[in-house]
Amino acid sequence: MSTRNLFMVASPLQFLNAIEAKKTFQTNGNILVLMLNSNDNILDANQKMQLLNEKDWDEVIIYDLGKIIKYKRIFQQVKLIKSLKKYNYNYIFSGEFGVMNQALLASLISKEIYLLDDGTATIFLYDKINDNYLSKLPFYKKARYLRYKLFGLKYKINNNINFFTIYNIQSTKNIKVIKHSFSYLKSHNLNNCKKNNFIYILGQNIVETNYINENTYIKYIKSIISYYNNKKIIYIPHRSESTKKLNSLISDNFILQPSSGPIEMKFISESIYPAVVISFFSSSLFSLEKIFHESLIQSIKINYDNVISRKEVLLKCYEFLDQTNVSNLKID
Percent of the chain's residues with pLDDT above 70: 94
- Does 259 lie in the same domain as 145? no
For the chain, counts of helices (H) and of strands (E): 11, 15
pLDDT tens column, 91-122: 999 999 999 999 999 999 999 999 999 889 99
Same domain? 199 vs 249? yes
From CA 11, how far away is CA 289, in angstroms rounded? Answer: 20
- Regarding whether 119 and 140 lie in a shared domain, the answer is yes
Distances from the Cα of 141 to the Cα of 17, 76, 104, 133, 157, angstroms: 30, 21, 18, 12, 16
**CATH number for the domain that contains residue 300:** 3.40.50.11110
Statement: residue 42 has pLDDT above 60:
no
- Domain holding 150, by residue range, is 3-180
pTM here?
0.89
Q: Which of 127, 159, 180 is the last residue of a domain?
A: 180
> Is there a single domain that holds both residue 34 and residue 176?
yes
- Give the CATH number, domain containing residue 83: 3.40.50
252 has pLDDT over 60:
yes
Please tell me the predicted confidence (pLDDT) of residue 56.
86
Q: Out of 151, 180, 209, pick the residue that ends a domain.
A: 180
Same domain, 244 and 156: no
160 and 111 part of one domain? yes
How many domains are contained in the chain? Answer: 2
